């Protein structure tokens, strides 16, 4: 049975990426060797790393603008520590927005390193909106935000104007929409939503903001070391980087971010329209901050969800349970999610509604 | 043409591991989903992580002995920082052996955290032997060693008796030979030699040695956090962990470490015998410390190596160039290397010698 995978991450990737990655595990580029057994210092892999970095800069429009792209292991959560290590001066301070669980995790880590000002928070309202109208202190070493809150289904629609370097966790919406990436000092994203499998993190770093903290930074935590060694300071996650490269190739071949954004807008509009129309469901995020990646919703009071769960299962829909911390439903409709799968979900929602009448 | 892959890492894995991993990228366990798109919180993947951890404890004989097995991302080099963070007391000290480039890298990182005593070093002799006869200070917080030096082809044949917790980087010989693993406080190993692809690190940690430093440890660097969350503190490297699990299954199915060790001894003996017999080659490590994983050798003076390189290429031999920092040759003959490939290399060495007569 055809599966419709709405998992929040690791999540669906393009079918052709799976096919190429699977073939590469058996025999990479007709080399007679698996991608899993080639040296990261081989010409074959260096070409992969270079293409991945170059595609990331090209898709973001950052080529030639003083940015470096890195593909590192450790997980986006490791950046919660690397960022203050690399940007927060000794006795300095940083400004953060608390817009969800991951943002709160980043704040907790930054506090280990120094003074953190939380300039806005929606925690009291269960993170159902993006904090706005805040002021970023001009003496902050950096400002940190989370562009899309995977668990709560909210997304920043715009980013602040400030002279302070903006650091943004774009793990769950990177390369899903056109953005002026040059507004940011550091963008980071775990690959496992829009740009690859779990096991690799993309960083886009404006080089001039580094080297100003006065801290002694351990080697693996030092962005300058990774930049100098072009993501090869240690053995990189070869297969995850290769699969990320394939996914970036797919984005480029499919009309780049501009075209991907059109499709993402269409998918999100269809699904939110159904949630708003259907008498059995309600969205959980406020409308103006709704995420086009993670669509969160619940059933209205008094509705037993067992029948809906069964209809989903019978239709091959998987991964739409809400995050274990919040419950409800969450349909993640990342770049690689076909509109056909969204339509299947909508028809199941309609079928469920009919069964109640 | 059949390839004989002597790469030092990432390196050869069992053929059946490549086949199963390739299939899982297309369709994992007949789920209709790729291993790359399933949630790390799914039952399917939790079972993988649990089996990987349990196999690692079983193969090392550490089940039920107060140890935890972790599969983390970040690379073994990240452990160079995590280890002092977790084990070196504030104002404490650690003892290290300097037996090669990786050991030196670990020492450099530890010095960021506190006082480091290098109790033995073979650096002056180009790391051609394992330092011996050293004394570990009784007040050291831990003692760090590297069991096998991938670049120089040396291997510790025995480990010291001490009351200080022993931390060992076993990246390039883990599960290649029977060892009393319970002598160690922490064993860590990048998977990409003997137990999987690049992108995941195995740790075997004796729990009782943690939590004694008085340091505030950033979340991702804190072993106790990873233990508490059973390697799921952040999204783990799903595919690399799955492939490591397949490789551990293969070790178990092939008679466990004891049987693997027999085969490794046989392969190493064949190759070292040829190096010692062949008039054109010399081993670079002293005999008593020779590694059974990385066999390093050079041609005798005045021999042009072009013809040997061509013979190797024609025979499908790849990856035997020495590390870029030392030159010469290095044949890495990890667990998955078939004895047939070693025999092909030996026959090429013999052919080369004949061509000189």
CATH code, domain carrying A29: 3.40.640.10
**Would you call A169 a catalytic residue per the annotation?**
yes
Nearest chain A alpha carbon to B221: A78
Q: Which of B68, B141, B173, B193 is catalytic?
A: B193
Quote the tokens at residue B164.
């200080």
CB contact under 8 A, B198 and A34: no
- Tell me which residue in B1, B23, B199 faces A73 most closely, judged by beta carbons: B199
Q: Does A16 touch chain B (CB under 8 A)?
A: no
Domain identity same for B115 and B239: yes
Tally of domains in chain B: 2
Domain identity same for B52 and B85: yes
Quote the tokens at residue A269.
């509009």
Task: State the Cα–Cα distance between residues B217 and B227, nearest whole angstrom.
Answer: 14
CB A232: neighbour CB atoms within 10 A? Answer: 16
**Would you call A193 a catalytic residue per the annotation?**
yes
Task: Confirm whether B100 is domain-assigned.
Answer: yes
Before B10, cis peptide (omega within 30)?
A: yes
Task: Confirm whether B6 is domain-assigned.
Answer: no
Task: State the Cα–Cα distance between residues A101 and B241, nearest whole angstrom.
Answer: 26
Domain boundary among A208, A234, A253: A253
CB contact under 8 A, A25 and B25: yes
Q: Does A22 touch chain B (CB under 8 A)?
A: yes
CB contact under 8 A, B11 and A74: no
A234 is in an annotated binding site: yes
- Within 8 A of B197 by CB-CB distance, chain A residues are 36-37, 238-239
Q: Does B33 touch chain A (CB under 8 A)?
A: yes
- Within 8 A of A236 by CB-CB distance, chain B residues are 198
Which residue in A180, A214, A174, A224 sits closest to A194, CA to CA? A174
Domain identity same for B71 and B147: yes
Task: State the Cα–Cα distance between residues B251 and B228, nearest whole angstrom.
Answer: 28
Q: Longest C-alpha distance within chain B, in Å? A: 67
At B324 the pLDDT is: 81
Q: How does pLDDT run across A35-89, given as a tens digit for each residue? A: 999 999 999 999 999 999 999 999 999 999 999 999 999 999 999 999 999 999 9
- B54 with B64: CB under 8 angstroms? no
- Across B261-276, b (16+ Cβ under 10 Å) vs e yields bebbeebbeebbebbe
Domain identity same for B286 and B153: no
Q: Does B133 touch chain A (CB under 8 A)?
A: no
Domain identity same for A182 and A215: yes
Residue ranges in chain A modelled with pLDDT below 70: none
Domain boundary among B221, B253, B285: B253
Nearest CA of chain B to the CA of A24: how many Å? 8
- ∠A240-A150-A128 over CA atoms, to 5°? 170
Instruction: Please give the residue range of the domain that contains residue B300.
Output: 256-355
Q: Which of A68, A193, A206, A292 is catalytic?
A: A193
**Consecutive H or E run containing A58:** helix A43-59
Nearest chain B alpha carbon to A110: B218
Nearest CA of chain A to the CA of B113: how many Å? 9
Task: State the Cα–Cα distance between residues B228 and B70, nearest whole angstrom.
Answer: 10
- Tell me which residue in B74, B112, B197 faces A36 most closely, judged by beta carbons: B197
Residue ranges in chain B modelled with pLDDT below 70: none
Q: How does pLDDT run across A75-95, given as a tens digit for each residue? A: 999 999 999 999 999 999 999
Domain identity same for B179 and B80: yes
At B356 the pLDDT is: 83
Quote the tokens at residue B23.
């299939």
ipTM over cut 0.90: yes
Nearest chain A alpha carbon to B336: A37
- Across A337-355, b (16+ Cβ under 10 Å) vs e yields beeebbebbbebbeebbee
Domain boundary among B199, B218, B253: B253
Q: Does B134 touch chain A (CB under 8 A)?
A: no
A165 secondary structure, DSSP code: P
At B89 the pLDDT is: 97
Q: Does B105 touch chain A (CB under 8 A)?
A: yes
Domain identity same for B32 and B134: yes
Radius of gyration of chain B (CA): 21
Which residue in A122, A154, A160 sits closest to A142, CA to CA? A160
**Reduced to 3 states, what is the DSSP secondary structure of residue A103?**
helix
- Within 8 A of B36 by CB-CB distance, chain A residues are 10, 13, 18, 21, 197-198, 243
Q: Does A216 touch chain B (CB under 8 A)?
A: yes
**CA distances in angstroms from B164 to B96, B121, B137, B143, B257, listed in the order given:** 12, 19, 8, 6, 27
A41 is in an annotated binding site: yes
Q: Does B1 touch chain A (CB under 8 A)?
A: yes
CB A180: neighbour CB atoms within 10 A? Answer: 9
Domain identity same for A20 and A108: yes
A76 is in an annotated binding site: yes
| Chain A, chain B: beta-carbon pairs less than 8 Å apart | 200
At A356 the pLDDT is: 83
Q: Does B32 touch chain A (CB under 8 A)?
A: yes
Domain identity same for B109 and B241: yes
- Within 8 A of A233 by CB-CB distance, chain B residues are 77
Quote the tokens at residue B28.
């994992």
Task: State the Cα–Cα distance between residues A202 and A79, nearest whole angstrom.
Answer: 10
Task: Confirm whether B85 is domain-assigned.
Answer: yes
Q: Which of B169, B173, B222, B289 is catalytic?
A: B169
Nearest chain A alpha carbon to B45: A10
CB contact under 8 A, B81 and A218: yes
Which CATH number is B288's domain given?
Answer: 3.90.1150.10
Domain identity same for B203 and B265: no
Nearest CA of chain A to the CA of B35: how many Å? 9
Task: State the Cα–Cα distance between residues B26 and A35, nearest whole angstrom.
Answer: 16
**Would you call B169 a catalytic residue per the annotation?**
yes
Task: State the Cα–Cα distance between residues B176 and B170, nearest whole angstrom.
Answer: 10
């Amino acid at each position: 049975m055809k599966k419709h995978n709405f998992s929040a991450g690791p999540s669906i990737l393009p079918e052709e990426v799976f096919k190429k990655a699977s073939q590469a595990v058996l025999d990479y580029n007709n080399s007679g060797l698996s991608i899993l057994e080639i040296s990261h210092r081989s010409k074959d892999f260096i070409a992969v790393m270079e293409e991945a970095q170059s595609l990331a800069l090209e898709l973001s429009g950052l080529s030639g603008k003083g940015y470096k792209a890195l593909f590192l292991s450790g997980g986006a959560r490791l950046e919660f520590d690397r960022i203050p290590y690399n940007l927060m001066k000794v006795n300095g301070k940083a400004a953060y927005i608390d817009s969800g669980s991951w943002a709160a995790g980043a704040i907790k880590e930054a506090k280990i390193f120094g003074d953190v000002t939380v300039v806005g928070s929606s925690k009291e309202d269960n993170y159902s909106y993006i904090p706005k109208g805040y002021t970023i202190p001009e003496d902050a070493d950096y400002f940190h935000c989370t562009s899309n809150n995977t668990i709560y289904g909210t997304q920043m629609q715009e980013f602040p104007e400030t002279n302070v370097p903006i650091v943004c966790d774009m793990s769950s919406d990177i390369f899903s929409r056109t953005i002026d990436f040059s507004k940011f000092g550091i963008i980071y994203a775990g690959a496992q939503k829009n740009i690859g499998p779990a096991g690799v993190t993309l960083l886009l770093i404006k080089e001039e903001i580094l080297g100003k903290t006065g801290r002694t930074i351990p080697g693996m935590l030092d962005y300058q070391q990774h930049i100098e060694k072009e993501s090869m300071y240690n053995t990189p996650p070869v297969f995850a980087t290769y699969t990320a490269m394939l996914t970036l190739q797919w984005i480029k071949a499919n009309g780049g971010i501009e075209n991907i954004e059109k499709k993402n807008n269409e998918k999100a509009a269809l699904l939110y329209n159904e949630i708003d129309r259907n008498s059995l469901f309600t969205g959980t995020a406020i409308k103006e901050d709704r995420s086009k990646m993670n669509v969160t919703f619940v059933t209205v009071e008094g509705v037993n969800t067992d029948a809906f769960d069964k209809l989903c299962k019978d239709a091959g829909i998987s991964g739409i349970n809400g995050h274990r911390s919040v419950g409800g439903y969450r349909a993640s409709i990342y770049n690689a999610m076909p509109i056909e799968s969204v339509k299947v979900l909508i028809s199941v929602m309609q079928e469920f509604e009919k069964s109640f009448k």
